[in-house]
Amino acid sequence: MEYLRKIIKKCILKTKYSEISTYLSEFEKTDWFDKEQIEEYQVKKLRELLTFASKHVPYYRRVFQERGLQLNDFQTVSDIRKLPLLTKEILCNEKESMFADVELEGIKNNTTSGSSGTPVVFRKQKLCRDIESALMRRYKENGGIDDNDFGIVIWGTHSLSKKDVLKGFFKGWLKNQIVFNSYDLSDANLERLIDCLKCKNVIYLRGYTSAVFYVASVINQRGLHFNIPFVSVTAEQLYDFQRMEITRAFGNNLYDQYGCGECGSLAFECHAHEGLHHAFEHSILEILDENDNDSMHGKVVLTNLDNYAMPLIRYENGDVVTLADHECSCGRHSVLIDHIDGRTYDVFEGENGKRVHAGFLDDMLLGLDLLNTYGITQIRIVQKKPKEFTCQYVSKYEIKEIDKTKLEKEYKKALGDSIRLLFERYELLKSAERGKRHFIVPLQIYEKNKAVYD
Ligand SMILES: [Zn+2]
């Protein structure tokens, strides 16, 4: 059966795989480039992209004309600053003039969810998707995973028609993985997942951070442990309290991966676990402060070097990150991200302009040791009114009044004396888009999506 699977996989994915494999061999070498080689590599790709965009993309044709720019104006990566920042608002207004006016292979459109504002149509070509796949394979390879190893994936999938379910099943079989739906973390589904961990030799586990955290905390409560060689989380911020719980359940092989729909794979944690390496082959990464100057901490600005169908140059994706102040001990020279702070709107505002970021609330949870004491498996803080926060949680035991008061006191200290903190205990927390469960839900997000949080 295993042999048959490999043969079918080879036949079906023959052409696709050969291209991805070519990129993979290239990236195995570029992974060890020094700073100078990285600059040279990025400048070459940037100039190719700009040559194309200034000719074939109406928006950039206009920007180049208005600013009187020529290709020769771009000799270093930092020359990219001669181009304006690209916001979601610009994408909304410019629409089709962001698209290339020539045919490119394998174009697919994708609309992002409106959780951060108006939905936007993104267009990607096959080249870009292949390069993202190759980077994912390098990431797994670096973690010691072979492409044929068996794994579990916890992902947000709508179960649609029977045809789609069958297609999904076949794809899973081909890739030698079982996909669990993060929309449905019901008891039955969870038992199936735990059975799978017990019976099969699971080499990797991949999924949304909150979903993997949830499974890990249930496993810890039952006193179980599964040593999994490669556990990879993505799509949401990874908090320290989650990292602790996940490594307790699955061993010290947790890898964080950072990406976004518009640009795909952006950064990957390596075996040294000192931060996330920026995949410089695929994008240019700028971290800017509130005055748009280079900074160690600030908003993420990206240039996707491989998508000519809709070039995103200096695009603000809405995230905030902090860079590491040292190089990784693994020997790679790519920019190292210390941690992802979250989305720009992952901030609670209290009275008199007091503000706290999600990381602060993470520290507080760890400090009071609430997770262990009450067997909490899911938790989030929702701001339902300007001065009212609700801690929604799923746990073995109800949080005692004394700890509720302690937590409220900390919130008052950080956000103001008139702040109230309420508690709601649930059987299971409903998820937002694609099965994601965010740890902090500020007022503006709550108001857009009350059905999930009420
Ligand atoms: Zn490293």
Domain ranges for the chain, please list them: 1-75+83-341, 347-453
The rounded distance, in Å, linking the Cα atoms of 4 and 148 is 13
For domain 347-453, the CATH architecture is 2-Layer Sandwich (3.30)
**Per DSSP, what are the bridge partners of residue 278?**
267
* Distance (Å) from CA 335 to ligand 1 centroid: 10
* Distance (Å) from CA 155 to ligand 1 centroid: 26
88 to 109, 173, 290, 314, 443: CA distances (angstroms): 16, 38, 17, 11, 21
Query: According to the model, what pLDDT value does residue 17 have?
Result: 73
* Distance (Å) from CA 104 to ligand 1 centroid: 35
The rounded distance, in Å, linking the Cα atoms of 360 and 362 is 5
Query: According to the model, what pLDDT value does residue 304 have?
Result: 97
* Distance (Å) from CA 263 to ligand 1 centroid: 22
What are the residue ranges in the chain where pLDDT is below 50? Answer: 113-117
What pTM was computed for the model? 0.83
* Distance (Å) from CA 268 to ligand 1 centroid: 9
* Distance (Å) from CA 16 to ligand 1 centroid: 29
Going along 166-217, which residue ranges are E strands? 177-181, 204-208
* Distance (Å) from CA 328 to ligand 1 centroid: 5
* Distance (Å) from CA 305 to ligand 1 centroid: 23
172 to 23, 52, 167, 291: CA distances (angstroms): 23, 37, 9, 46
* Distance (Å) from CA 317 to ligand 1 centroid: 24
* Distance (Å) from CA 403 to ligand 1 centroid: 39
Q: Decide if 411 contacts 389 (C-beta within 8 A).
A: yes
The rounded distance, in Å, linking the Cα atoms of 234 and 242 is 12
CATH code: domain 1-75+83-341 is: 3.40.50.12780
* Distance (Å) from CA 216 to ligand 1 centroid: 25
Query: Which position has the token pair 């096959």?
Result: 126
Mode of pairing for the β-strands spanning 376-385 and 254-260: unpaired
* Distance (Å) from CA 137 to ligand 1 centroid: 16
Q: Decide if 327 contacts 321 (C-beta within 8 A).
A: no
* Distance (Å) from CA 79 to ligand 1 centroid: 28
* Distance (Å) from CA 113 to ligand 1 centroid: 33
The rounded distance, in Å, linking the Cα atoms of 400 and 13 is 56
Query: According to the model, what pLDDT value does residue 114 have?
Result: 43
Query: According to the model, what pLDDT value does residue 368 have?
Result: 80
